[in-house]
């Protein structure tokens, strides 16, 4: 049995064990590195990736590799991009769409990985709103819980969500 500390990569954390994982970018600069890293996600049962980055960011895409890795995983791997500008917040409509997508994927039996570039700002915003909406906790409790869940990650010293606007979105999410 894996513990809450067991994750595919160091800069990730379980929000719901074996159902919802959050963290930094899933890809790598080289295709070989990306395949190795993606296999680690698949070994942890991840079957759905929600990418919060924009296509204009200087990141190496990995979504094309997921179809190649479906045989390795033995199941269909789902990928979608729900872009949010770095250091910014999404519209209420986009956040609702993202919440609905996460919920639907989990209900359908997927284990979901939500990520942005560093796994701090945009990811923390989405996860904070998700926890508040799904669990009926306050925004303050969501932010405290994110801090607790991230405490063993290499970037735990950075607040998540990263900006005041992002934290305010979590605090005010209904």
For 101-160, the pLDDT digits (tens) are 999 999 999 999 999 999 999 999 999 999 999 999 999 999 999 999 999 999 999 999
Per DSSP, which regions of 17-77 are E strands?
Answer: 20-23, 48-51
pLDDT mean across residues, the chain = 96
Q: Tell me what the mean pLDDT of segment 62-75 comes to.
A: 95
* Distance between start and end Cα atoms, the chain: 35
Q: What is the CATH number of domain 12-172?
A: 3.90.190.10
Q: Does residue 2 surpass a pLDDT of 70? A: no
Q: Tell me what the mean pLDDT of segment 5-16 comes to.
A: 95
Q: What is the DSSP string of 80-109?
A: EE----TTS---HHHHHHHHHHHHHHHHTT
The whole-number pLDDT of residue 174 equals 87
Domain ranges of the chain: 12-172
Beta carbons of 132 and 124 less than 8 angstroms apart = no
The whole-number pLDDT of residue 3 equals 52
Q: Tell me what the mean pLDDT of segment 89-108 comes to.
A: 98
The whole-number pLDDT of residue 4 equals 57
Query: 82 — phi, psi (to 5°)?
Result: -120, 80
């Amino acid at each position: 049995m894996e513990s809450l500390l067991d994750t595919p990569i160091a800069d990730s954390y379980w929000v719901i064990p074996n159902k919802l994982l959050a963290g930094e970018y899933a890809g790598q600069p080289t295709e070989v590195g990306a395949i190795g890293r993606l296999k680690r996600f698949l070994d942890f049962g991840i079957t759905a990736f929600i990418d919060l980055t924009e296509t204009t960011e200087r990141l190496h895409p990995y979504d094309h590799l997921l179809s190649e890795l479906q045989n390795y995983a033995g199941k269909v791997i789902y990928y979608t991009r729900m872009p949010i500008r770095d250091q910014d917040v999404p519209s209420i409509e986009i956040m609702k769409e993202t919440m609905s997508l996460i919920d639907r994927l989990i209900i359908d039996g997927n284990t979901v990985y939500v990520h942005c570039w560093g796994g701090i700002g945009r990811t923390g915003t989405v996860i904070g709103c998700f926890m508040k909406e799904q669990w009926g906790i306050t925004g303050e409790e969501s932010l405290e819980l994110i801090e607790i869940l991230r405490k063993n990650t290499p970037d735990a010293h950075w607040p998540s969500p990263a900006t005041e606007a992002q934290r305010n979105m979590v605090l005010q999410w209904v």
